[in-house]
Amino acid sequence: MAVPAVDIQRVTHRYGTHVALQDVSLQIDPGVLFGLLGPNGSGKTTLFRLLSTLLPPSEGRARVFGRDPTEEPGAVRRRIGIVFQEEALDESLTVRENLRFQAALYDLHGTDRRQRIDALLERLHVADRADDAVADLSGGLRRRVDLARGLMHRPDLLLLDEPTTGLDPAARRTFWTAIQRLRETEGTTLVLATHLMDEADRCDRVGILSDGALVVDGAPDTLKAELGDETIWVESDDPSVLQDRIDAQFGVPTRIVGSMVQVAPSDPASFFSRLYEALGDRIRSATLRTPTLEDVFMVHAGAAPNEDSDPVLVRDDDVGS
């Protein structure tokens, strides 16, 4: 049986009296693209710091390909790469010079360095800009160069912190094409922190953190199917009162998520009109839809995704990549 790429067992971490992670257990197999979702303050930052050797857990244990990030930080750092939300590139240097510098950090020299740089430039479609200064590149090209930087030492695990933030749709598609090609050619395990539901939908598995706890983990299609074929979402000025009225009048399952009430009758289509006829004066808006990953997020995290989320991984001078 293969050693898990990431193996977290009952990890709790505290900052003083504040619990940032609470009894989190998670295994990620090699080669998997795993998406990490959660509102601000949910524990994503702390989890990424644990995996990248910056922070020991207060309780429990974490392993990266069988190595303890606290006890064997050097061994773990050699097996991980990191792509930050902000590019870790020197704008005054050319693309090739940036990659040479990164290679030197991992003791790559001579023919091996040259071949690795050339291969990454070709694979990520930036070879024609290799001798241009990073300052002259578009945002999308910078992200691909930064991805090449994170991959320079052939990491087995790549941590991606909101990697497409600020990119236009075309640049995002190009970036994800590069990620897919990377998976096919190098088999790298990827852990992605994102607030974008369409990116999370690309993942093999998704985990949602809320208040430091891993509240759900599974394949996106499976998580959506668990909410049913169709569900009704009702927005109300007073969701508690609306929920009580629906329960009293119809006796169907309901759940409050923020200002919304999720209603799950056996026949949503026919129930929709009955709901409006009976309680239309308490309804601001209502939708009947096939469950989305955003619905999964709202149900399990108890809030809508925050598109202004903080960076998950802050650059630290102690980390080489």
Residue 303 lies inside a defined structural domain of this protein: no
Residue 33 has a pLDDT of 96
| CATH number of domain containing 247 | 3.30.70.260
CB–CB of 279/249 below 8 Å? yes
Task: Evaluate whether residue 296 is within a structural domain.
Answer: no
Q: Residue 170's domain spans which residues? A: 6-219
What's the pLDDT tens digit per position in 93-145?
999 999 999 999 999 999 999 999 999 999 888 999 999 999 999 998 999 99
Domain membership flag for residue 97: yes
pLDDT value at 147 more than 90: yes
- 3-state SS of 95-144? HHHHHHHHHHHCCCCHHHHHHHHHHHHHHCCCHHHCCCEHHHCCHHHHHH
The average pLDDT across 242-269 equals: 91
- The sign of the CA dihedral 180, 185, 187, 190 is negative
pLDDT tier for residue 45 given thresholds of 50, 70 and 90: confident
The total of structural domains in the chain comes to 2
In a domain, 318, yes or no: no
Indicate if 36 and 108 belong to the same structural domain: yes
Question: Each residue of 182-216: pLDDT tens digit?
Answer: 888 888 999 998 888 889 999 999 999 989 999 99
Residue 319 domain flag: no
Average confidence (pLDDT) over 239-263: 91
Is 320 within a domain?
Answer: no
Q: What is the pLDDT of residue 185?
A: 86
* Domain C-terminal end among 192, 219, 246: 219
Average pLDDT over residues 57-77: 96
Q: What is the pLDDT of residue 171?
A: 85
Q: Are residues 211 and 237 in the same domain?
A: no
Distance CA 199, CA 88 (A): 22
